[in-house]
């Protein structure tokens, strides 16, 4: 099924400002939020669709690529072109639009966050090479995070005992102060919002229910990913409270510069040395590419700095529907040392050029520019 146009989804014009995009997205999110449309899968789909559209159009770089290439231009850039799989994922990305969730708290009983006992999400920086980014790869990561205590199975209470309801808040986790219209609600200072007190804490985790541990996980890096992209690894964050689901792991990817290739959207640019004879008479040379080597035709009379295009030798989009080109910048190779024979030939060539008046004609044109 073909994706809808992002501008059409949000109901804005192509030249819409950042503020207009934010207003349009907020309006769509309010309309189709699952808490306002319980059980309505169509509304939930539109809610996620609006988040995907806003994520692309609100980013200057992604928006420019989308305007130029369409959906294929933003594949492989974090969530762009792939959608969001959960409400938590959307709020983690766009908390600023909703004031940290406070706007939804005014309208939806669950605050728009889904599982209230879900564990905290984690952030991690990961550096990969240019070639790994182009081809995609799987990275093994050592991560230190909290894991559910095996002794108390996460309850925080010593085996054989259990937590009791907090008397200060009656198990609500909050206490209220004031009368009439002016009522302040604060986290209960006794149970710190848990609603329960542990009179006999577990000795292994000291009542926390979790223990820091070092774990090893594998993260799949999609092909074509760009520098400073964000990946979400579902369920690899902190464990939830009271049986809640785990949080997520957000991996921020940094791509190291390559000594030969430079990326421009899906195209790659490189400089290749060409001799004077090859540039003047034309030639066919072998050029390194992302997938090995390929033949490149040097046309007769090629000039230094000229750009030659090798179609289809660039970077593939996330789903392979579009592939960029390799742009080869011609760098004229001048030998630092000449053999006697080379000196003789170049001297003869210089005499021919002098006889033809090529250098003199050039100097005459420069002279006229300053007359």
- pLDDT over 90 percentage in the chain: 41
Asked whether residue 38 falls in the same domain as residue 104, the answer is: yes
Asked whether residue 83 falls in the same domain as residue 98, the answer is: yes
Is residue 33 one of the residues assigned to a domain?
Answer: yes
pTM: predicted TM-score of the whole model, two decimal places: 0.61
Residue among 134, 103, 126 at smallest CA distance from 33: 103
Higher pLDDT pick, 353 / 337: 337
Domain limits for position 63? 1-114
Length of the chain equals: 371
Asked whether residue 28 falls in the same domain as residue 98, the answer is: yes
Asked whether residue 280 falls in the same domain as residue 328, the answer is: yes
Most confident of 24-38, 195-209, 307-321: 195-209
Instruction: Indicate which CATH number applies to the domain containing 66.
Output: 1.10.287.110
Higher pLDDT pick, 254 / 96: 254
Asked whether residue 246 falls in the same domain as residue 265, the answer is: no
Asked whether residue 307 falls in the same domain as residue 241, the answer is: no
Is residue 80 one of the residues assigned to a domain?
Answer: yes
Is residue 192 one of the residues assigned to a domain?
Answer: no
Q: Is 198 helix (H, G, I), strand (E, B) or coil?
A: coil
Is residue 292 one of the residues assigned to a domain?
Answer: yes
Asked whether residue 145 falls in the same domain as residue 41, the answer is: no
Tokens at 41, concatenated: 């899968």
Reported as a pLDDT band with limits 50, 70 and 90, residue 88 is: low
Count of structural domains, the chain: 4
Residue where a domain stops, chosen among 221, 256, 291: 256
Task: Give how far Cα 280 sits from Cα of 115, 204, 355, Å.
Answer: 69, 78, 18
DSSP of 204-245: TTTTSSEEEEEEEEEEEEPTTPPTTEEEEETT-SPPPSTTPP
Give dist(CA 59, CA 43) in Å, integer: 25
Is residue 170 one of the residues assigned to a domain?
Answer: no
State the pLDDT at residue 363.
54
Reported as a pLDDT band with limits 50, 70 and 90, residue 311 is: very high
> Contact 49/4 with Cβ under 8 angstroms?
yes
- pLDDT over 70 percentage in the chain: 81
| DSSP state, residue 259 | S
Is residue 20 one of the residues assigned to a domain?
Answer: yes
Residue where a domain stops, chosen among 256, 286, 321: 256
Task: Judge residue 8's burial from the number of C-beta atoms within 10 Å of its C-beta, 0-12 exposed, 13-18 middle, 19 or more buried.
Answer: exposed
Is residue 38 one of the residues assigned to a domain?
Answer: yes
Asked whether residue 128 falls in the same domain as residue 19, the answer is: no
Q: Among the listed ranges 75-84, 143-152, 297-306, which one has the minimum average pLDDT value?
A: 75-84
Asked whether residue 218 falls in the same domain as residue 236, the answer is: yes
Asked whether residue 363 falls in the same domain as residue 248, the answer is: no
Task: Give how far Cα 234 sits from Cα of 15, 25, 100, 191, 249, Å.
Answer: 34, 24, 21, 30, 6
Is residue 158 one of the residues assigned to a domain?
Answer: no
Encode pLDDT of 206-234 as tens digits.
Answer: 998 899 999 999 999 998 898 989 999 99
Instruction: Indicate which CATH number applies to the domain containing 281.
Output: 2.60.260.20
Asked whether residue 101 falls in the same domain as residue 144, the answer is: no
Mean pLDDT estimate for the chain: 83
Give dist(CA 99, CA 158) in Å, integer: 40
Encode pLDDT of 236-275 as tens digits.
Answer: 999 987 777 889 999 999 999 999 999 998 999 999 999 9
Asked whether residue 266 falls in the same domain as residue 142, the answer is: no
Tokens at 305, concatenated: 């700095």
Within 13 Å of residue 37, how many CA atoms lie on the same side as its CB?
15
């Amino acid at each position: 099924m073909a994706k809808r146009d992002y501008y059409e989804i949000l109901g804005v014009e192509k030249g819409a400002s950042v503020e207009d995009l934010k207003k349009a997205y907020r309006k769509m999110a309010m309309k189709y939020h699952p808490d306002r449309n319980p059980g309505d899968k169509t509304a939930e789909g539109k809610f996620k669709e609006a988040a995907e559209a806003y994520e692309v159009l609100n980013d200057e770089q992604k928006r420019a690529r989308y305007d130029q290439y369409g959906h294929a231009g933003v594949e492989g850039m974090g969530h762009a072109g792939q959608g969001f799989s959960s409400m938590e994922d959307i709020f983690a990305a766009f908390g600023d639009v909703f004031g940290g969730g406070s706007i939804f708290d005014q309208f939806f009983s669950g605050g728009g966050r889904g599982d209230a006992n879900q564990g905290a999400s984690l952030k991690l920086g990961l550096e990969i090479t240019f070639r790994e980014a182009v081809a995609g790869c799987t990275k093994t990561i050592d991560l230190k995070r909290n894991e559910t205590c095996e002794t108390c199975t996460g309850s925080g209470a010593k085996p054989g005992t259990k937590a009791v309801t907090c008397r200060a808040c009656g198990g609500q986790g909050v206490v209220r102060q004031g009368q009439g219209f002016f009522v302040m609600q604060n986290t209960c200072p006794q149970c710190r919002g848990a609603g329960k007190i542990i009179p006999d804490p577990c000795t292994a985790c000291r009542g926390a229910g979790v223990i820091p541990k070092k774990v090893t996980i594998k993260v799949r890096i999609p092909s074509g990913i760009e520098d400073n992209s964000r990946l979400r690894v579902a369920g690899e964050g902190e464990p939830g409270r009271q049986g809640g689901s785990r949080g997520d792991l957000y991996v921020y990817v940094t791509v190291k510069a390559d000594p030969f290739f430079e990326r421009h959207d899906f195209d790659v640019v490189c400089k290749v040395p060409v001799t004077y004879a090859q540039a003047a008479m034309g030639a066919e040379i072998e050029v390194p590419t992302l997938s090995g080597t390929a033949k490149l035709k040097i046309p007769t009379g090629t000039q230094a700095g000229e750009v030659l295009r090798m179609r289809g030798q660039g970077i593939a989009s996330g789903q392979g529907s579009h592939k960029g080109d390799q742009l080869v910048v011609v760098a004229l190779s001048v030998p630092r040392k000449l053999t006697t024979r080379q000196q003789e030939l170049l001297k003869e060539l210089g005499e021919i050029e002098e006889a033809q008046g090529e250098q003199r004609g050039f100097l005459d044109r420069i002279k006229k520019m300053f007359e």
